[in-house]
Structure 1
């Protein structure tokens, strides 16, 4: 039997026997029926760009891949408005596609974007509990349409009432038990569409940034930001990145400006970028968040937030107008080294500022490609690059002291494997944090691959020893996750029998085999 590998940036993958690209619900149902008859497991992916978590690789060999990227319709495109801020989308709809559509058809609306790239699936990310700049993506989708492993069509919430009902695409909960959660990080069926909440664009939008020079104050810094979240002063997600993480998302932009706009050679541009880095990431930890509202609301929130955070350092308020003015001035004076450094920093910050305010970008992915010597490759080719990337993403309580202690030990473990951890702490909800930690390695080196996976395993072992768990898992760690609490996962496996009695949908994904 001919097989195709699903090689990806984790350097862990399984082979698939076929790749199907259905374009409709009917075709998905037909694939499920054939899979049941032939006892062939199928592994659905939206666009397959689940980078750092396994991309499109199944958990087991001998699966047929179901690529849903052709199912890329905005089903209610003619009905979306500021009075009806819901998009009914298929799994192939990407961040870039929806953003461009809204810009053209309803610019008063935006949505909760992530930093994963323009061509990543909205539904795929939400189903794996990705986190956007405004909060957990899982809270943005409701009223799912699913083809179960038994080949049945299931519509959750009030979507079951049919499109003629005014509640079908508006009420998020429905009546009776909510089934939506079973299909988040679940393998009971194939989600073929979902309702996705859109957000009104406010008249004033600003990003806030603050660098903490003294790492000893990190626990208090986290706790202060968490209180601001709980008090709804900073309702968006606050990202707190260590210096390695901040620079990994900025270096490409800074060096590109210095080479292309200033005429510096590569070595000189790298040296100048080091100087520019002290402007945008002066301390070991830098936070980024945003606030929006009318002028009076933003002014009042800024005053309160400044008062709470002034003990940690200077709070930068970033707007498009300020960036444009500062860049025009420093770019004009770029022959002066200090002005050149500032212009390079602003050039790198601009797309990330727009990302924080709701405009998806490929810049974080392009930084990875640049770091591994392949800046000419498009973002969608990341899995075909030399870049190796593993995510370790533990959930943490909203406790700055505990979070800091855990992260310190994780960094010490990484040093044993000659690795630097690239860390972002997300103040995700009122009661919990999420740490997004990644390891980088060169996939051309077998030794680097071995060492990176050994490091990732050691980090996960420590996380488990502390009574903690991941909030999102890689394909290669599913067995380690399900082995921890067998009674719980046996119950999940029993639930799967209701929707997928032949265990043909993504066997082993967030479940026992």
Structure 2
């Protein structure tokens, strides 16, 4: 027994070892992701204002691929200073951010980040000012939210004789977003990244980078020379997550006296190699003022315009664009015909004068009830000539709705919002007949394996290279999306073994993008680490998976 405490002996309670103590378990609740995002959103409202913050919510984003619901917060900065504040706020709350211009990157991930752990988005569409325009040189400075349609309207209002750099994605995509992704078109300046004269960008630490000749003031003298002085650095902000671009100066092409398209139909697939060689001759050797040529297989053409009439027998269909004064364009017609002699029955040429005659013929035929056959030709020709002249159009976008025709609105098309399934395979193919044949055979074999049509387009990027676009169109269910992504990954891997490397990648395939050329990607990772050591901006975007952690 223990001793009885006395007046000179205080009572001392026996202390048990910790291992012998039994007490009710106490759980310490870790903050959930929802709690963390809610606190971040509250802080963002205090910093940026309630009109510039959405979420957290799990229905803020849409895509052309099935995605499981996930909470996101969208910040909508209105200025470069807002972007700086947003980055500092994200850093202080341990959040990474993914910026996008207008969120129209359909088929490549739309506005979703490459890394699912990134839950904060910077929507730059509210930064939509055209800051400066030189009406003599055709130099324009824009913010990320300026769309192709905005610039086209701006130029039209001023009667400015310059061409908006259009694509086939309609009027709503961002000029800056498309240029940074190295988009292209058939207008005279087809390389949209090549048209960049200078940029302004906010680095991860809040520093504002500007190209050597880019003025600090938005309305200052615009750069007229792309490279400036010293190392060319602007390229590290293309297809990368190294900064948030907030301003860009672009060079526009002047409108020529004549824009003329030519069409030709190839009825025998055996002529593929010879046609590719003829296209290369026209672009590389002939000296003709051709801005570009699209060469489309029958499967793609029928999906685009239907399979009735002449198109039902087309194995390949070509479209080229001539720019210049009337005499130069007229002289080029004979050269085009000679290049394609023996391969096609006829080459069709179309310009505004001939289109006006077609409109008159349509008006007469419509009165007699016989205009229906001419109407599709007239509509498609008007839209194509409009795009080539700098007027963006949605006429090519219904292709994305092939599995969802009931979801297509009359205008304002948005395949992600409207529930379409779409992925793009976009490799570079050398402009040689034998390479085009190997490529077409490979695409047909792999697409058939997964149940897709091999809808192939060869678009000239230069006199020596095509970008081929192959759309995978599907029902965006979980199963349909998985099958489409498996097909895309198979195309990428097999294509690279054949020497056909994509010029850009979907956000879900960044592991494939960085799986070859290790020295190149290690160098890119070093640049990323130098500019953004904490991977604050778009982690996982064009970086190897282990570099994005």
User: TM-score, normalization: structure 1?
Assistant: 0.89
Larger radius of gyration: 2
Structure 1 residues 165 and 71 mapped into 2: Cα distance closer, same or farther (>3 Å)? closer
Query: Post-superposition shift, 1:414?
Result: 0.9
1:118 matched residue in structure 2: 171
Q: What 5-or-longer segments of structure 2 have no aligned partner?
A: 1-33, 35-55
Q: 1:397 aligns with which of 392, 412, 430?
A: 430
User: In the alignment, is residue 218 of structure 1 matched against residue 260 of structure 2?
Assistant: no
1:230 matched residue in structure 2: 284
State the distance in 2 between where 1:383 and 1:362 align.
Answer: 15
Q: 1:61 aligns with which of 101, 111, 116?
A: 116
Q: Residues 327 and 347 of structure 1 are in contact (CA less than 8 Å); yes or no, is this contact kept in structure 2?
A: no
Structure 1 residues 49 and 414 mapped into 2: Cα distance closer, same or farther (>3 Å)? same
1:37-436 correspondence runs (5 A):
37-63=92-118, 64-76=120-132, 79-81=133-135, 83-134=136-187, 135-159=190-214, 166=221, 168-231=222-285, 232-251=287-306, 274-275=307-308, 278-279=309-310, 282-313=313-344, 314-330=346-362, 332-333=364-365, 340-369=372-401, 372=404, 373-376=406-409, 378-436=411-469
Structure 1 residues 345 and 162 mapped into 2: Cα distance closer, same or farther (>3 Å)? closer
Q: Residues 390 and 439 of structure 1 are in contact (CA less than 8 Å); yes or no, is this contact kept in structure 2?
A: yes
Q: Residues 15 and 62 of structure 1 are in contact (CA less than 8 Å); yes or no, is this contact kept in structure 2?
A: no
Q: Residues 240 and 287 of structure 1 are in contact (CA less than 8 Å); yes or no, is this contact kept in structure 2?
A: yes
State the distance in 1 between where 2:164 and 2:494 align.
Answer: 36
Greater RCO, 1 or 2 (C-alpha within 8 Å, sep 6+): 1
Q: Deviations over 1:44-70 (max 9, x none)?
A: 000000011110010112321000000
State the distance in 1 between where 2:220 and 2:387 align.
Answer: 35
Cα root mean square deviation, aligned: 2.3
State the distance in 1 between where 2:212 and 2:445 align.
Answer: 47
Query: Post-superposition shift, 1:111?
Result: 2.7
Query: Post-superposition shift, 1:381?
Result: 3.1
Q: 2:540 aligns with which of 484, 503, 508?
A: 508
2:488 matched residue in structure 1: 456
Query: Post-superposition shift, 1:213?
Result: 1.0
Q: How many residue pairs were aligned?
A: 484
Query: Post-superposition shift, 1:419?
Result: 0.8
State the distance in 1 between where 2:412 and 2:101 align.
Answer: 16
Q: What 5-or-longer segments of structure 1 have no aligned partner?
A: 252-273
Structure 1 residues 495 and 9 mapped into 2: Cα distance closer, same or farther (>3 Å)? same
State the distance in 2 between where 1:289 and 1:214 align.
Answer: 19
Q: Residues 131 and 218 of structure 2 are in contact (CA less than 8 Å); yes or no, is this contact kept in structure 1?
A: no
Structure 1 residues 307 and 136 mapped into 2: Cα distance closer, same or farther (>3 Å)? same
Q: Deviations over 1:33-88 (max 9, x none)?
A: 12222221100000000011110010112321000000111101xx431x121110
